[in-house]
Amino acid sequence: MPTSENIIHAPAAAAAARAAEQPPRRHPLALLTILTCQLMVILDATVVSIALPGIQRSLGFDAAGLSWVQNIYLLAFGGLLLLGGRAGDSFGRRRLLVLGVGLFTLASLAGGLATSPGMLLGARIAQGVGAALAAPNTLALIVSTFRDPAERARAIGLFSAMSAGGGTVGLILGGLLTSLISWRWVMFINVPFGLAVSLLAPRVVQEPERHPGRLDVPGAALATTGTAALVYGFIRAARDWADPLALGSFAAAALLLSGFVLVELRTERPLLPLGLLATRVRAGGYAAMALVAAAMFGMFFFVTQYLQVVLGYSAMRAGLAFLPLTVPLFAAARTVPRLVPRWGPGLFLLTGPLLIGAGMLLLTRLGPDSRFATGVLPALLLFGFGAGSTMAPLSLTILHGVRPEESGAASGTLQTMQQVGGALGTAVLLTAFSAAEHPGPAGFAHGVAVAMGWGALAVGLAWAVLALVVRPRGRLE
């Protein structure tokens, strides 16, 4: 007859036996697969920016339509990230990652073969949907795969480096491919990497426990349309703040996003569990992430154009000009996560944004006669060290203490803050740029300098939120 002790320990023994029967997890290969997926979806937000002139000449885009080649991807990606994260919790995070990467790869192939503006924009929407299915599950898979705090910190550090540095890698890669081959290769380059991830993930990435439940489709629809309306409003307002379409978009965004909050309050299994925002640390961390991303995406957008329009750089030279940002970013992202378990995140969260802000302030001094070595290079170096020191500790702080059944939603929300913050930041800075720009290189440089001032303000607000709301102290246990 079984004793009470045997009954109590039977489930644990059975779980241990099942674990022993399973093949060992291949952490290095699993991490490489996950990071490759993350790099693909992040760099695609910027890789096309340098290729835009070639795309316009080849497919006949008008000026207004051309901006949507980048924005429509960000909207689909950012608007559906919450749904992708929650779907991963329900149907399996590895399964959603493979499904998303497969869709992303097919859409990349279609985009490279596009023969009309409509075909390319349709492919970019499909890329955004695929990225939204895959991306939130990358971070959730890292959290479930790496249980040791030090290993998890290093893995999230590399993940954060890919998230922060993917934009600059996209600019460098886009410049090289566009100059040496064709703009179509900024799409085709995703295909071999997407196939590799699709084949490797089922073999080297372990599927964590699922938490089935009905998806919050109404919440997803309201969040996506509300976000799209908000970004579109800013894009229209960049031309004219009195534009009826801009004002109507802002009004629609307010209604749709308010409806989203009401739906989340009443849904049994919400897309965004509002309990994730109940603590000041996590809520403040999400806000700071959005503000930092707003400055980062805006800087990429405007400095790339400044290098080409004012300094006369080719697409390849403009892309390679971002190498001084990439090197310190990855160096800091490799070093800082090793120190966070020992020192805690506070030191880095209060110094990293200051370095980013200092870089943004240097860019406010750009003019038509500025030189790269003295006007742009110091700012890129500060930006790289600052971003590399900020992103991993901030991600660790946000995800600390999240329950396993909500890790997909928490990861999806974090990446939503990055992507939507980046889209909104670019739109807001574009508004400031348009108000200050004048014809000619001198006027263009003045507009960029004003936009960088607004970016510095966003970073200053992020620092204030971290210092006054998050107030990071001690180590993450």
Burial of 309 per CB tally in 10 Å (0-12, 13-18, 19+): middle
| Pairwise CA distance, residues 66 & 74, whole Å | 14
pTM over 0.85: no
Residue 363 binned pLDDT confidence (cut-offs 50, 70, 90): very high
Q: Residue 268 corresponds to which tokens in the numbers above?
A: 């049994």
pLDDT value at position 64? 59
Confidence of residue 99 (pLDDT cuts 50, 70, 90): very high
Q: Is 231 left (phi over 0), alpha (psi -120 to 50) or beta?
A: alpha
Q: What is the DSSP string of 347-395?
A: HHHHHHHHHHHHHHHHHTT--TT--IIIIIHHHHHHHHHHHHHHHHHHH
Q: Where do we find the tokens 């051309």?
A: 66
Q: Give residue 15's pLDDT.
A: 41
Q: Is the dihedral of CA 103, 104, 110, 116 positive or negative?
A: positive
One-letter amino acid at 128 equals G
Q: Decide: residue 433, CB within 10 A, 0-12 exposed, 13-18 middle, 19+ buried.
A: buried
Total Cβ atoms within 10 A of residue 387 = 30
What tens digit of pLDDT does each residue of 32-91 get?
888 888 888 877 777 887 777 778 888 887 755 676 787 788 778 777 877 787 777 778
Among candidates 161, 205, 199, which has minimal Cα distance to 39? 161
pLDDT confidence of residue 21: 40
Per-residue pLDDT band at 464 (split at 50, 70, 90) = very high
pLDDT tens digit sequence for 165-180 = 777 778 788 888 888 8
Mean pLDDT of all residues belonging to the chain: 81
For the chain, the straight-line distance linking the first and the last C-alpha, in angstroms and rounded, comes to 42
What pLDDT score was predicted for residue 364?
93
Of residues 23 and 317, more confidently modeled: 317
Which tokens belong to 434? Answer: 């348009």
For the stretch 228-276, pLDDT in tens is 788 778 767 766 778 888 899 899 999 999 998 898 888 877 777 777 7
Identify the pLDDT of residue 211: 63
- The conformation of residue 469, written as its DSSP 8-state character, comes to I
Question: Which pLDDT score is estimated for 30?
Answer: 82
pLDDT greater at residue 312 or residue 216: 312
Greatest alpha-carbon span in the chain: 90
> DSSP alpha helices (H): ranges in 92-183?
93-112, 117-145, 149-180
Give the Cα separation of 77 and 96 in Å (integer): 14
